[in-house]
Amino acid sequence: MNKSEGIHFYVNIKNLDEIIQGEEEANDEVKRSIHRLHTFFAGITKAVKHFNGEIEKFTHGRVHVYIEKLDDENDEQYKLRAKRLILSCFTFCYDVFNELGVYSRYTKFKLQGGADYGEYYKYEIEDLDEFTTIGGVANIAAKITNFAFSGYIYITEEAYDFIPDSEQDNFTKLDDDELQEIHERLKGSPSIYKAKYTSLTMDDVIKNLMDDLEEYCKDIADVKLDEIKFESATSKN
């Protein structure tokens, strides 16, 4: 078990249950939803890996990502990389995935996100080529994700300090009324900030990645249902 620190980020398909229920009621099956999830997770995985993030696990429509500082990276470079990763997940969903022609007739995915920064432990699972993380930072990120509006990222004050200075003004602090329900679920009554993904700065690095993801996901979306292989948990290497 190794101690580490970094940003834990969750991104969740807010309306997935509604989509699955609607398809099941209409068709008595959920093949289309499974096909869409396969394409979505493939694209998200590629975006996260592009910015050297790690995916710990997929749970239902939720992806748990953590972002550690690289050995050759200063604080400003780390902040920029983390912001690009987070923004890329949202931009991929709304501007690429939801606009794929093969899915144009279906209800669009709506994303919500949450992030915290802090210390945690990385734990290797014996006899398996997998690991998990242990610590409150992931738990806090997961909980505040559940409260985020569609298209919004909620972050703690600790994560706010690891957002590029040029982006901090795009985040607004939640007021007492907005915080009341969140604080009922969290210990310590932390300050929470929110931003709509479209208020964050898009740059050429993200734009070029979106072009690549569009072509990549067009191929993925052509895969037949019986050929789908879902992404697994992160390996130790």
pLDDT in tens, the chain (237 residues): 778 899 999 999 999 999 999 888 877 677 888 889 999 999 999 999 999 999 999 999 999 999 999 999 999 999 999 999 999 999 999 999 999 999 988 999 999 999 999 988 777 766 555 667 777 899 999 999 999 999 999 999 999 999 999 999 999 999 999 999 898 888 777 899 999 999 999 999 999 999 999 999 999 888 776 665 555 444 444
Q: Helix or strand or coil: residue 224?
A: coil
0.95 exceeded by pTM: no
Q: Are 120 and 142 in contact (CB under 8 A)?
A: no
CA dist 133 and 113 (Å) reads 19
Residues 6+ apart with CB under 8 A from 206: 84, 87, 88, 91
Residues 6+ apart with CB under 8 A from 46: 212, 213, 216
CA dist 44 and 231 (Å) reads 11
Which residue do the tokens 């040029």 mark? Answer: 166
What domains are there in the chain, each with its CATH number? 2-219 (3.30.70.1230)
Q: Where are the beta strands (DSSP E) in the chain?
A: 2-13, 54-59, 62-67, 111-124, 131-134, 152-156, 172-173, 192-196
